[in-house]
Amino acid sequence: MKSVTSTWETCYENLGRSQCLRGCPSCQGVGLNSSARVLHQFARETGNLPLPEVTPEAVAAFLHGHGELSATWKTKRGLLVSFYRFAIARGHATISPLPERPPQLPPAQTPYVYATAEIQHLLDATVILSTSLSRLQAATYRTLLLILYGAGLRVGEAIRLNLCDVDLEQRIITVRDTKFYKTRLVPIGPRLASKLRVYLRQRCALALPLGQDSALLCTRTGHRLNYQYVITLFQRVRLAAGIARPTGELRPPRLHDLRHTAAVHRVLGWYRTGKDVQRLLPQLATYLGHVDIRSTQRYLHMTPELLHEASRRFAIYSGQEIDHE
């Protein structure tokens, strides 16, 4: 019987390079190469056994992943549903070992929107990361924070950036291998470009193992930052910045919340300058790499300030007075 990898290669050949796995609602617009990465990971973590020997327990472990249970479970399951549908149709498997019911996912954490002063406190607090071995660690982490807030990137997108992905002349960052397996161009402002220019002079004094394909954000040896490492460091920086866990929340503010903050501040700025927010939302969705506009629309009511500005705008258009006291 065929293994996971050989079945995937057959699937790849049959469907062609430009198509997504047939019938996968979670993979609309996802390229076949990206699906291959997930399935190769599945093969590796299950031992690349013949398909009939892959157990439900092994599948469950792959779907759960190595961290907290998250919505990624559904995305991976959607891909495996299509994969096993293909395998069964071609006679490479007789049954699917996938769980029929999704687990109870933990409640989503309420995004924390940092105040402008808190962002400055975070940037200042990175000084605690300076060590006798490397004074660049603080500068690197400060640059990570600036990119997350100034360009609205996801944490994983930021640490996967290479030197060649930053065009300071055009003020464009190329974001590759995103959450939804697409590449997008993100314009940046002159202040962020200036900060990156200063950082790049320091960065290029370190090792460049892959030339311009080397990591933008790196350790003192020139190697790419580890995702879990930067998440762990953030809690040290947050505490040093004096930012506490909000009352009633189970978890403290996260590094990823800088991306949410960037989006909220952008929308708030539009409201205050009289821009047509609804017309501009698709642009924000593209900027953030959202494939569903609903993911962007949630920023419209994420903070009291946004609700205040939205109701004030409605009052202007309707000719009414609204008391916000």
Reported as a single tens digit per residue, the pLDDT across 287-317 is 787 777 777 777 776 666 665 655 565 445 4
For the record, the structure tokens of 139 come out as 């500068």
d(CA 187, CA 287) in angstroms, rounded, equals 8
Q: What confidence category does residue 321 fall into, taking pLDDT thresholds of 50, 70 and 90?
A: very low
DSSP 322: -
- Decide: residue 1, CB within 10 A, 0-12 exposed, 13-18 middle, 19+ buried: middle
pTM given for the model? 0.69
For the record, the structure tokens of 108 come out as 């989503």
pLDDT (average), residues 243-265: 90
CB 144 within 8 A of CB 217: yes
Residue written as token pair 């996967």: 160
Q: Tell me the per-residue pLDDT of 180-218, one tens digit each, with 9 for 90 and over.
A: 667 889 999 999 999 999 999 999 998 899 999 999 999
- Decide: residue 138, CB within 10 A, 0-12 exposed, 13-18 middle, 19+ buried: middle
